[in-house]
């Protein structure tokens, strides 16, 4: 082994500066043994860099879950309340009662709305009838006659 090999090692790692680095570079030009050593350092790095690492997203998810268990995530108060409300609401008994209440209220609203709609329809019907009655038949005939005569004149 050449005694410069240790320095070649530091040179390869860019840990030498100025004159020292120049001296090693000069030595490398003439020493076959050190050239082989440098080549092996290059190859070792290449092997490391080429290596395929088999990590999985599931492991990241597991780490986050562990952090959650450790208490790393502090949920804001409003979210805590929301979660508690959600837990309460999704209990079968509560869910059933809430569903019944919602159905009842919806039925009442629908009934109320349908009464209002029928009242409005009656009002519209009445006003249409009034309008028809207020128009005299004579004027209607005159208008129709004008409409029939107009196209005939245009044709001539």
Partner 1 sequence: MDERHLLERCRKGDERAWVELVNRYWGLAFRIAYRILRNKEDAEDAVQEAFVQVFRSLPTFQHRSNFRTWFYRIVVRVAMARLPTEPVEPLEEGVEAEILECAHEDPEKIILVREKEQILDWAIQQLPPDWRTVLVLREVEGLSYAEIAEILGIPIGTVESRLFRARKKLRQILEPIFGDEWL
Q: How far is the CB of 10 from partner 1 (least distance, A)?
A: 6
Phi-psi category of residue 71: left, alpha or beta, with phi > 0 → left and psi -120 to 50 → alpha = left
Q: Pick the closer one to partner 1 by CB: 54 or 92.
A: 54
Q: Does residue 136 touch partner 1 according to CB under 8 A?
A: no
The verdict on 47 binding partner 1 (CB under 8 A) reads yes
Q: Which of 6/97 has CB closer to partner 1?
A: 6
Q: For residues 94 and 88, is the Cβ–Cβ distance under 8 A?
A: yes
**21 close to 11: Cβ distance less than 8 angstroms:** yes
Which residues, numbered 6-35, are part of the site for partner 1 (CB under 8 A)? 6, 9-10, 13-15
Residues 73 to 92 in contact with partner 1, rule: CB under 8 A:
73-75
Name which position in 17, 32, 72, 132 contacts partner 1 (CB under 8 A): 72
Total residues belonging to the chain: 156
Q: Which residues of 93-117 are buried (b: 16+ CB within 10 A; e: fewer)?
A: eeeeeeeeeeeeeeeeeeeeeeeee
Burial 54-87 (b: 16+ CB within 10 A, else e): eeeeeeeeeeeeeeeeeeeeeeeeeeeeeeeeee
Q: Which is nearer to partner 1, 15 or 22 (CB)?
A: 15
Closer of 45 and 123 to partner 1 (Cβ): 45
Least distance CB 111 / partner 1 (angstroms): 46
Where on the chain is the footprint of partner 1 (CB under 8 A)? 5-6, 9-10, 13-15, 37, 40-41, 43-49, 51-56, 59-60, 62-64, 66-68, 70-75
């Amino acid at each position: 082994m050449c005694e410069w090999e240790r320095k070649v090692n530091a040179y390869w790692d860019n840990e030498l500066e100025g004159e020292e680095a120049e001296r090693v570079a000069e030595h490398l030009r003439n020493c076959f043994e050190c050239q082989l050593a440098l080549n092996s350092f290059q190859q070792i790095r290449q092997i490391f860099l080429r290596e395929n690492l088999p990590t999985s997203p599931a492991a990241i998810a597991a780490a986050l879950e562990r952090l959650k268990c450790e208490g790393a995530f502090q949920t804001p108060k409003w979210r805590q309340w929301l979660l508690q409300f959600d837990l309460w609401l999704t209990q079968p008994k509560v869910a059933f009662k809430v569903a019944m209440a919602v159905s009842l209220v919806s039925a009442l609203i629908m009934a109320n709305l349908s009464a209002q709609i029928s009242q409005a329809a009656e009002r519209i019907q009445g006003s249409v009838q009034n309008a028809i009655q207020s128009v005299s038949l004579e004027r209607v005939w005159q208008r129709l006659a004008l409409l029939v005569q107009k196209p005939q004149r245009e044709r001539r």
